[in-house]
Amino acid sequence: MDRRTHSPTVRLRRLARHLRRAREDTGRGLTEAAKLLGWSGPKLGRLESASTRRITPGDLDKLAELYGIDAGMLAEWHALATQAKERGWWAKYKKSGVFTDDLPDFEAEASAIRTYESQVIPGLLQTPDYAEALLRGGQAHEDDAIAARVDARMQRQQILHRHEPPTFWAIIDEAALRRVVGSPEVMHAQFDHLARMATRSGVTIQVLPNSVGAHAANTGAILLMDYAEPLDPSLAYVETYAASLFLEEPDEVAHILEVFSHASASALTGDVSAEAFRTHLATLGNTADE
């Protein structure tokens, strides 16, 4: 049984691909199809690009009639349109500004997640205290705002603990491990959590040591998400201080996957990395005892 939370954004993207494929199967261009429907080209374009959730049952029925879609497929279209309007657990956080993009939507439905971080522990592996210290970052923030962001981050992590979780592969630069966030006690708990997560089935955690020098992923963080449904292509997620961007063009995703693969080849194996976490634990334990 699939116990994953329906992701509105993923379902909308899947419906859009159904609609585009159905049109292309008839050999019609977007402008021609829109004209036959009595619609504007931009309206049909928005439906096929998943840029609107305003999809009425009547619009789907018209499309199905024009494209010669059978009742079974039309029912699937209607189900996807309904799910695209649902609100996931993350909706309340988006409304308050904690989430400014659709990342939780896409994570919720992913069958595999790969990530590389150069400066911090990946968000899906952070402890609450580490996340809080990181979000404060030496700046003045309202306690309520920090608490909401930490809570949202912990909610995101539940995808790794659900029934049928995605496979998860993280590469963490050694610099992130050596950076003391919060306090030695916070880092001790964080390393303990990493060591335990590294033993979980379906989870791979690698450390990219400083000794490798320059490497393929020098330019920044990486997040890749794969999906089991063929109509849901892989996504790459790039985040900067000013904005975040989702990339789904095959050549873009392939390039980022190649970078990730090169970084993985330069990193320590999962077993050796787990030992590194235990070594850091022992070191921090000795520091705390002094």
Asked if residue 233 and residue 122 are part of one domain, the reply reads: yes
Residue 253 forms part of a structural domain: yes
Within-domain flag for 148: no
Output the pLDDT for position 276: 80
Same domain, yes or no, for 252 and 113? yes
Does residue 174 share a domain with residue 45? no
Residue 89 lies in a domain: no
Integer Cα distance of 39 and 59 in angstroms = 10
Contacts 24+ apart (CB under 8 A), 25-31: 25/67, 26/66, 26/67, 26/68
pLDDT at 282: 66
CA–chain centroid gap for 281, Å, is 29
227 & 118 share domain: yes
> How many Cβ atoms sit within 10 Å of the Cβ of residue 133?
21
Residue numbers in the chain where pLDDT is lower than 70: 1-8, 138, 140, 242, 282-290
Q: What pLDDT, on a 0 to 100 scale, did the predictor assign at position 2?
A: 37
Residue 141 lies in a domain: no
The whole-number pLDDT of residue 286 equals: 52
- Give percent of the chain with pLDDT exceeding 70: 92
Calculate the CA 55 to chain-centre distance: 25
- Do 117 and 50 lie in one domain? The reply is no
Residue 38 sits in a domain whose CATH number is: 1.10.260.40
pLDDT per residue over 168-207, tens digit each?
Answer: 999 999 999 989 999 999 999 999 999 999 999 999 999 9
Q: What average pLDDT does the chain have?
A: 87
pTM: 0.80
> Do 171 and 202 lie in a common domain?
yes
Domain that holds residue 50: 8-84
209 and 269 assigned to the same domain: yes
Q: Which tokens sit at 199?
A: 């033993």
- 2 assigned to some structural domain: no
